[in-house]
A and B are shown apart, each in its own frame.
Chain A
Amino acid sequence: SEELNKRNRILCWIITSPKTHSRAQLIKQTWGRRCDKLLFMSSSQDDTLPEAIPLPVNDTYANLWGKTQEALKYLYRHHLEDAEWFYKADDDTYAVMENMRHLLSSFNASSPLHLGFKYEHPKVRQGFMSGGSGYVLTKEAIRRFVEFKNNSTSGSQCVLNHEGAEDLNLGICLEELNVTAVDSRDENKVERFLPWSLEDMICGHLKNPGFWYLREFSYFPLKQDMNCCSPYAVAFHYVKDYQLKVYEYLIYGLR
């Protein structure tokens, strides 16, 4: 099992921003320490998060795509040898690393792969991964993306300015680069990456109908209520601030 770990190291890179550096701290204290390597991508360093990697971007939601490109460039230059798998998460994500390791162990780390919660979209035939619950890229996937960036061809749909939906754009680019968007559901076809809050995943169909419409775009059919979410879930989204500690306690503390 130790050998398995060596060949399947996971580097977690968390997208954060100066306003939410405190959440980054909470991730460090909870699930972040189960990553083989943990990096925080922000736009500046400060006392709350002195090890934040300052990327040359404006920290707004509109510039998220630009930030992601910078982050991938950074990983390519400095960390490609530190791991086989690269997991991107937001600072309001809670990941269950043991379950992630188990999921990844059934895939080939040397292939160009992209894993996460899949959405469908007319521009991406194989679907793209939701940014919210995070996604995993292999070394090869990152390599292709960054090297393509340097030699982009015409006729490409892969748009590289700073604005636009981060997850959709990444999905479009990776499809052109022949990076496979895999199916990460469990044996019972239940999702493991959970892009909305657990409350919405479990009870969303009971709440406001406008929200349910997003589900139309999930690549695979979604199940309702307690069947929504795999027992081997790897990531939860919209887990904010002290909720991170609550999850840590309920998942690892409580017997």
Chain B
Amino acid sequence: MNSIKRYIQYSKLGLLAVHLLAPSFEYTSININELSQQPTVFQTADQPVTLETKRDRILCWVTTSPKTHSRAQLIKDTWGSRCDKLIFMSSIQDDTLPDAIILPTVNDTYENLWGKTQEALKYLYLHHLDDAEWFYKADDDTYAVLENMHYLLSGFDASTALYLGFKYKNPGVRQGFMSGGSGYVLTKEAIRRFVEIGLPKLNSPQISHNVCVSGPKGLEDLNLGSCLAKLNVTAGDSRDKSDMERFLPMSLENMMCGNLNCPENDFLQQWAFYPLKMGIECCSPYAVSFHYVRDHELKIYEYLIYGLRMYERRNN
């Protein structure tokens, strides 16, 4: 059954690749669901017009694995419910997560994370490209603040080829690449380019010059960043007006570390694309995602961020 599905998927991909070689304007059109929700949005054949108040949709895809399906449920109970669409990608379905999307052919190990990401992006391309303007990838130990994410994204153009996250520098990728850990956001166009142009070459061994690193192994975030850079997808700057980071790649305890010696932070300081502040100034008031928030901590963050209220809140 799986192999039949796979065959169909690949042949669909082949057909699409043939039909959509030119830059596609299809994805700037407004689909029928949007029209029914927002009747005052007009579209002519030439120029789609969008209201400024139209809110871009965010599809969240969370990578999980059978060992951590319980975390996926906790995400559903907390921040995941604020995504316009929420998808879990795993390697099997089970009682804990009956709606997991199974990606084909990938062993669920850390070494194969790059392979898993390719499959995930292919899956989104085939089934969900019209469901949102932005596609946010997170791990199952990530906590995201969707309101702040909407605020961040409203400052960017969803129709461009763009991706956002916590940026690392790397000698091989001049524009930098986004950390996989705190998650990253891709536009429709970024995914389209990756699948239509970046990927087919991966599976064509006769073409010696690959746009993207082939095979399932390798550093997922670095490989994606390198690939997207070659496809002219811009790696944007997601910091706030005070140059504070919004995607936070280390646990908050480590980010707050300040003057004590936290060994992980040397790595961060050295490889962060933009100069990084530590201590209480590390992290934007408009932060969009926290990493290494595990299991029940997800509920703690949910309570502290959305549950707790303040009387007479003073400005710091």
Q: Is chain B a partner of chain A in the same complex?
A: yes
A: residues with CB less than 8 A from B are 1, 29, 96, 98-99, 101-102, 198-199, 202-203, 206, 225-226, 229, 231-233, 241-243, 245-255
Complex: A247 Cα to B256 Cα, angstroms: 11
Tell me if B178 counts as interface (CB < 8 A to partner A). no
Complex: A29 Cα to B312 Cα, angstroms: 20
Residue in B253, B285, B287 whose CB lies within 8 Å of A242: B253
Residue in B283, B299, B311 whose CB lies within 8 Å of A249: B283
B: residues with CB less than 8 A from A are 145, 148, 252-253, 256-258, 279-280, 283, 285-287, 296-297, 299-305, 307-314, 316
Q: Within the complex, what minimum Cβ distance (angstroms) separates A81 from chain B? A: 25
Chain B residues lying within 8 Å of A199, measured Cβ to Cβ, are 296-297, 299-300
Residue in B285, B297, B309 whose CB lies within 8 Å of A254: B285
Chain A residues lying within 8 Å of B310, measured Cβ to Cβ, are 96, 98-99, 251
Q: Within the complex, what minimum Cβ distance (angstroms) separates A93 from chain B? A: 15
Chain A residues lying within 8 Å of B311, measured Cβ to Cβ, are 98-99, 101-102, 232
17 example contacts (A-B, Cβ-Cβ < 8 A) are as follows A96-B310, A98-B311, A198-B300, A199-B296, A202-B296, A202-B299, A202-B300, A226-B299, A242-B253, A245-B279, A246-B253, A247-B304, A249-B256, A250-B252, A251-B308, A253-B285, A254-B305
Residue in A1, A233, A243, A252 whose CB lies within 8 Å of B316: A252
A200 closest partner in B (C-beta): B296
Q: Within the complex, what minimum Cβ distance (angstroms) separates A34 from chain B? A: 8
Q: Would B280 and A101 count as touching, CB distance under 8 A?
A: no
B251 closest partner in A (C-beta): A246
B309 closest partner in A (C-beta): A231
9 more CB-based (< 8 A) A-B contacts, given A206-B296, A250-B301: A98-B313, A203-B299, A226-B299, A229-B303, A232-B308, A232-B309, A233-B308, A245-B280, A249-B280
Q: Would A231 and B307 count as touching, CB distance under 8 A?
A: yes
Complex: A1 Cα to B312 Cα, angstroms: 10
Complex: A253 Cα to B305 Cα, angstroms: 10
Complex: A226 Cα to B77 Cα, angstroms: 10
Q: Within the complex, what minimum Cβ distance (angstroms) separates B259 from chain A? A: 11
Q: Would B285 and A255 count as touching, CB distance under 8 A?
A: yes
Chain B residues lying within 8 Å of A98, measured Cβ to Cβ, are 310-314
Chain A residues lying within 8 Å of B304, measured Cβ to Cβ, are 198, 247, 250-251
